[in-house]
Structure formats: structure tokens, C-alpha cells
Structure 1
């Protein structure tokens, strides 16, 4: 499931983050690429071990964990500390699949179920730079505005097209979901969204709303791994 979420943080806050990040020191992004990915990666990244990057990452983490649609879609168990990258001067990231297991800063391991890119530059600030994600319906290209996020399965083959003009600055991270199986996770998302719509129309005390809510939680109870 590809899910764009508009304004997961406000555009103003996203652009302020972008302006702050632009003053920081960058390094060659190939340093964090594993395996064959290093051969197709050409971008810049903030030093994720710096206090500056950690503080900015906490801002992003707090925002996404508080957003109902993001939580409904990803059912987060663990969120990898967000990182930040910049594409410019034909920078790109060729076709690749994200690593299946990530090492957290404290040494614990997490499974990457969902990938996320939070755009910190507006779409009209740079040329190129589309995030192209392979799906069963073909490649889908995504280019959103500052404050918008796209979430998609970490198992997807994807790439960032070359940025031929301007700068594409973004935050990226991964989520280990409580529900590892993508189809189950998508079914729970669709059910939850229907429950939200019916609740707004009928109220929480409606018998059908209660019945569907019970079904949702029983399915989650059976499918979740904690």
C-alpha cells in the first residue's frame, strides 16, 4: 500500500526544518548504504550520530506517532530514528530494496516493514527527484510538498530520480509494524477507516460501530506481534 499523507507536519514547520538543516554539515550518503546499494547511491546525509540530527529526528518521530492516519496505516511497534538527506547536482538513488533488518542506535534489531519519506522541500523547488516505487500496477512516481509524507512497503523496489536543478531535502525512516504481513495490515487499515467514518455518522454507541470495533481489535489481537 502506497499512502500519501498531507501535512503530517505543517508546511511552515517543514520549511523551518529545511532551512535549519541546510546550514548543517553533510557527508557522502554512500556511507550508510549496504551491499549493492552503495553502487547506485549518490546523495548527501546528515551525520545521524550528531546531537543536531537526533533532535530533529525526535521532532519527526513525535509528529508521526501522534498522527492518526499514520498510526492506522503502519501500526507502529518500533520507529527507526529518522535520518535526513539532500539530493542536488544530479544526485540520485538507483533501484534498490531497503534492508530487511535494521540496527537501532542502542544495538537492538528491528524489522523494516514500512518505509517513509517526509518531504521538507516543496515540489516546485527542484527539478526531478521523484520517488519511483514499483507496485503490482507498475512504477508509481511520488513528489510531494513540504510537510507531506509517503509510506510504502519496505519490500518495494524503488528509486529516487536524479535532481537536475535545486535541492530535494527530506527525512526518511522505517517502521516495524505490530502486524508484519502487508495484506493483513492493509485490511486492518481499511476496516479502521470505515469505523472512523461510521463513528462520525452514527456515534460510538451505535451497535454496528461497536460490532466492527470489536472485530478490528480481535483481528489485531490475533495478528499482532509485540
Structure 2
């Protein structure tokens, strides 16, 4: 599975604003935004988007603008993210994300953990591919991005509370394998440009990356 982890994904002031919003509430039933069979699998809460819409938009813009997100997801649009909460006994069973959420095609999904792992038990993000299962429980402020087409779940929280920012990105490159190729190639000009004798190669490799984006983009 192609994924990337970003540590300290949001600035400190934005994390403080998120913490204050979580403290203030209100939270609503998470089933309100689930689609199809996911509604029966989903048991969590989510922060009111009507009350905290401006904050959610700030979060979305910060994630969209992050250089690693730009390289990995090659984003065209980002949907308004959700701040969700799992209290003791809550979980999200195995499900797949809807192909479109709020008119944004869900090519890349992200989960940004807001609590330290030892502050709650359970609540792991588990992504199941045909070949392997991946489990994530990251430090507060860390985010994982992965292909939204993968089956995934959040295991039951057995104590404490788990808060996270989740959302979806529509990429300029629809195909996940093509995005992976571009993301890997994007490291080449970045490294070459650190040495003046490779400036020409850095420029040419950057040109090739842009050509691939033109070729594969939609």
C-alpha cells in the first residue's frame, strides 16, 4: 500500500484552536455523514460543522498547502475535513469511503491524530489490503495519507477518548499507482538541486515530472 506519514502536520496555533473547539463542542452523531453500508458500521461523534465551519476550512487549507501533501496527493480539491471523536465503546467497522463526498472525488484519505497514543486504549486505524494489513496509532499532530479506495476500520476504543481530523483529497492524478510514481520521482530533483554540478539534471528531472502530470492528469 502506498502511504505517507507526516509528523507535526499542522502549526501549533491551529492545533490549539482545534483543542479549544473540541472542548467547547457541540458534537453530533457521526452516522449523519456516512454513506451506504458505512452507516451501520459507524459509531462515533463529530464536531458540528455549522458551529466550527471556519476552523474546519482553515484546517483543510493548511493540509492542502503542506508540501508533502502536494507531492504525495497532487491535490486538485480538498473537501471540508471532519473532526471526529470516539468515546469508550465506539468504533468504525470495516468499510470503504464513498467515491464522492461533498462533490469531491475521494482519491486520497487522511487521518490526523490529535491525542497521544497512551491517553486512550484501542482506536487504531487499520487498513486492510489484499496483501497486507497496516495499523496506525500515531503521536498527536501526526497524519497518515493513503489511497481512499482501501478497506479500513477504527478499532473499538476501550478506555479514554480518541479525537482525529479526517478528510479526503481529489487528486489531479486519478490513478494511485501513477501518483506513487510521481511522488517517488519528486525526490530526485530535490536531492540533485543540493549540488550545483547536478543543476541541469535537477531541472531535467523536474521537467519529466511535470510532463507525467500533464500526461496522466485529468
Q: TM-score, normalised by structure 2?
A: 0.93
Count residues with an aligned counterpart. 217
CA distance in 2, matches of 1:144, 1:12: 20
Q: Deviations over 1:92-129 (max 9, x none)?
A: 000000000122xxxxx221100011111121211110
Query: Are 2:64 and 1:65 equivalent residues in the alignment?
Result: yes
CA distance in 1, matches of 2:52, 2:17: 14
CA distance in 2, matches of 1:126, 1:204: 51
Matches within 5 A, 1:64-213: 64-103=63-102, 109-200=103-194, 202-203=195-196, 206-213=199-206
CA distance in 2, matches of 1:178, 1:134: 25
CA distance in 2, matches of 1:198, 1:25: 50
Q: Deviations over 1:122-164 (max 9, x none)?
A: 2121111000011344110001122111101110000000111
2:159 partner SS: strand
Q: CA deviation at 1:204?
A: 9.1
Structure 2 unpaired stretches of 5+: none
Q: CA deviation at 1:11?
A: 5.6
Query: Are 2:55 and 1:56 equivalent residues in the alignment?
Result: yes
Taking a change above 3 Å as real, the CA distance of residues 85 and 63 of structure 1, as seen in their structure-2 partners, is same
Q: Deviations over 1:35-68 (max 9, x none)?
A: 11111111001222x1x32122122122212211
Q: CA deviation at 1:196?
A: 1.1
State the Cα RMSD in Å: 1.7
| 1:29 matched residue in structure 2 | 30
Query: Are 2:193 and 1:220 equivalent residues in the alignment?
Result: no
| 1:106 matched residue in structure 2 | none
CA distance in 2, matches of 1:14, 1:114: 22
Taking a change above 3 Å as real, the CA distance of residues 203 and 128 of structure 1, as seen in their structure-2 partners, is farther
Tell me, yes or no, if the aligned pair for 2:123 and 2:162 is still in contact at 8 Å: yes
Name which of structure 1's ranges 9-18 and 191-200 shifts more when overlaid on structure 2.
Answer: 9-18
Q: CA deviation at 1:205?
A: 6.8
Q: TM-score, normalised by structure 1?
A: 0.90
